[in-house]
Amino acid sequence: MNALELDTVRLSADRSCLEILDQTLLPGTVKVRKLSRLEDIWEAIRVLRVRGAPAIGVCAGYAMALAASRLPDTDYDAFLAAFREQKAYLASARPTAVNLFWALDRMERVVTSAPDAPLAELRERLFAEAQRIRDEDVAISRSIGRIGFGLLRHGDGILTHCNAGTLATAKYGTATAPLYVALENGWHDLRVYCDETRPLLQGARLTAFELHSAGIDTTLICDGMASITMQRGLVNIVFVGCDRVARNGDAANKIGTSGVAILARYYGIPFYVCAPSSTIDMSIAHGGEIPIEERPPEEVTEMWYRERMAPEGVKVCNPAFDVTDHSLITGIITEKGLCTAPYEDAFRALGIGREEV
């Protein structure tokens, strides 16, 4: 099976529920969960059944369309108030990936922009908007893929961290998209190194699974092996995804990413962040303003192990993301073009953030 054939999240044909590929079970089990209650969709985002910034955004879009289709037939003001309540609830599922809030705001604008429309029409428009968010995400990943492919040379070794792949988006991924474009162009000589990505193993369970299933030369390494892999001259370029980019180019991504960037700088290897423009948060000045999710200690001490691997009572720190300083980033690949420092100017030149003005 090629993971590119899997849908991370979709609306059921009868629009009664979301069908979510449960990523907590991969790679061993491919199971699609049908979720219709907002509480279950919230839980799926929280425990990473659906994960990756763009996929979370797509999921949130569909979830709000579904939720709105079930709101009672009231007047517009009551409908908007109930919609906002459900939106705030879904927004509380995870704090770092800005795509969640971006998608929720986009869905709310559908409602606020047409206060005179009949509720039945608003509900249809919400389904259409959710579908547009999903379809645009595929096109965005393709575009990032084409730009990233232009940075590759035959025989390159590419290192990636976490999973910014097809499983993290509607299709193709961001950091993996250049590899899929390379494959389509008949390139079979690229080598990819996947950091396993402790503690939730997105690199081992998801990236290694999807790239290997697509026929890409994939080598799994533990996070602590990135340095020796670079030192041995096996890595020519790093592609990572991101959950939120501040307007100065500081980029939050899965915990461990900033360490990879520091290593890449030491070994003189270009380090690229792949970022749909929806991931760029022009409202914050720098990475210090990005909320970093703190996750349960059991993910470090027990999860994935046959038995607990840490003494009872030991203190555990489990931040899910870190921020890579913009000075360590060679370039940020958006669907609109490749941005280099100074990043704020580069983003504005591409029209990113214009909608806020």
Residues of this chain that interact with ligand MRU (CB under 6 A) are: 48, 51-54, 97, 162, 164, 168-169, 173-174, 202, 241-243, 253-254, 320
The tokens describing 314, both together, are 């030991």
CA dihedral 346, 321, 156, 182 (to 10 degrees): -70
For ligand MRU, give the closer residue by CB, 173 or 331.
173
Beta carbon of residue 114, minimum distance to ligand MRU (angstroms, whole number): 31
Beta carbon of residue 128, minimum distance to ligand MRU (angstroms, whole number): 24
Beta carbon of residue 145, minimum distance to ligand MRU (angstroms, whole number): 12
For ligand MRU, give the closer residue by CB, 53 or 151.
53
What single DSSP character describes residue 15?
Answer: S
Closest chain position to ligand MRU (CB) = 241
CA-based nearest residue to 106, from 165, 63, 160, 42: 63
Rounded to whole angstroms, how far apart are CA atoms 192 and 181? 14
Beta carbon of residue 82, minimum distance to ligand MRU (angstroms, whole number): 28
Annotated catalytic residue within 137, 156, 243, 281 = 243
For ligand MRU, give the closer residue by CB, 23 or 236.
23
Whole-Å CA distances, 7 to 59, 149, 160, 161, 240 = 11, 23, 22, 22, 21
Beta carbon of residue 73, minimum distance to ligand MRU (angstroms, whole number): 36
For ligand MRU, give the closer residue by CB, 129 or 210.
210
Whole-Å CA distances, 75 to 66, 79, 116 = 19, 6, 10
For ligand MRU, give the closer residue by CB, 110 or 256.
256
- Distant-in-sequence, close-in-space partners of 195: CB < 8 Å, separation ≥ 6: 159, 160, 161, 162, 203, 221, 222, 223, 226, 256, 260
Residue 250 appears among annotated catalytic residues = no
- The residue to which tokens 């420092």 are assigned: 341
Catalytic residues: 243
